[in-house]
Amino acid sequence: MTTSVAVIGANGRMGSLACRLIEQSDDFRLAAGIGSSGDLSEMLQADLAIDFTVPEVSPAVVEYAVAHGVPILVGTSGWSAERVEELETTIGGKFSVGVIIVPNFSLGSVLATRLAVTAARFFDSVEIIEAHHEHKIDSPSGTAVRTAELITEARGARGPVDAPFADQPARGQQVAGVPVHSLRMHGVAARQQVILGGAGEQLMIQHDTLSASAYEAGIMLALRALPKTRGVVVGLDRLLGLDDEGASSS
């Protein structure tokens, strides 16, 4: 007995990877691959859906899935805390439908963010530099936004990071009070550096994605967790049981 999956954004880099993983698996089969000229109603023939589209389109895809009772795994970036909150309001009573939003499917990236969130409680300065390939249309990356949000949340009583002269454009975009600097260039897949500064020392936590194979295990893990999920869950860390480690506001 296999579970059928519809992939929205099936012609893209990540969507085609998801299609391949589903077709190669023993427990899933591809019910529909939907591109920008397709119709979202094609997802209704599937048990589950995966969204790898673009940040502007993703909310409508997710709302359609939820409205029609199709659990959905979201890999598309752009899901800031504010956007997640809006979705939770929209979902309202429909909490029997699962929505898993994963800013980054790579295990190393999730761990790097976790380490940075833990370290950020002990340093005055925290800034993020992220670099991505030349085809990435959005900035800052979803991973950087999530990292910044978690950092500020974890600092709690310590307050926001010290980001002097942050109103100057060259100081980056302020995300939850953390300066984020985005590079879009040839020769890189995805990299994130969280640089922390304190009295007389610096700590840098860097993660490099070298190829899209880094996302494969995380996609399958999240897909398998989706039928058991109720309501909105954000982050692979939640599925790995890492979310309550180190992120204390004490």
Ligand X SMILES: O=C(O)C1=N[C@H](C(=O)O)C[C@H](O)C1
Ligand Y SMILES: NC(=O)C1=CN([C@@H]2O[C@H](COP(=O)(O)OP(=O)(O)OC[C@H]3O[C@@H](n4cnc5c(N)ncnc54)[C@H](OP(=O)(O)O)[C@@H]3O)[C@@H](O)[C@H]2O)C=CC1
The residues carrying an active-site annotation are 132, 136
> Any known ligand binding at 178?
no
Question: Does 128 help bind ligand X (rule: CB under 6 A)?
Answer: no
113, burial (CB in 10 Å: exposed 0-12, middle 13-18, buried 19+): buried
Pick one of ligand X, ligand Y, none as the site partner of residue 64 (Cβ within 5 to 8 A by kind): none
d(CA 31, CA 207): 34
Q: How far is the CB of 215 from ligand Y (least distance, A)?
A: 5
CB 249 within 8 A of CB 153: yes
Residue among 44 and 115 whose Cβ is closer to ligand X: 115
Residue found by looking up tokens 């085609």 in the block: 16
By beta-carbon proximity to ligand X, the closer residue of 53 and 143 is 143
Strand ranges, E, within 35-170? 48-51, 72-74, 98-101, 125-132
Q: Which stretch binds ligand X (CB under 6 A): 22-30, 140-148, 165-173, 175-183?
A: 140-148
* 74 appears as a binding residue in the annotation: no
Nearest approach, Cβ of residue 130 and ligand X (Å): 7
Contacting residues toward ligand Y, per CB under 6 A: 8-9, 11-15, 34-36, 52-55, 57, 75-77, 102-105, 142, 215
DSSP 158-192: G-S---TTTTSGGG-EEETTEEEEEEE-TT-SEEE
Size of the site for ligand X (CB under 6 A): 9
Residues 106 and 209: beta-carbon distance below 8 Å: yes
Q: Should residue 114 be labelled a site residue for ligand X when binding is judged by CB under 6 A?
A: no
Q: Which residues, numbered 58-77, are part of the site for ligand X (CB under 6 A)? A: 77
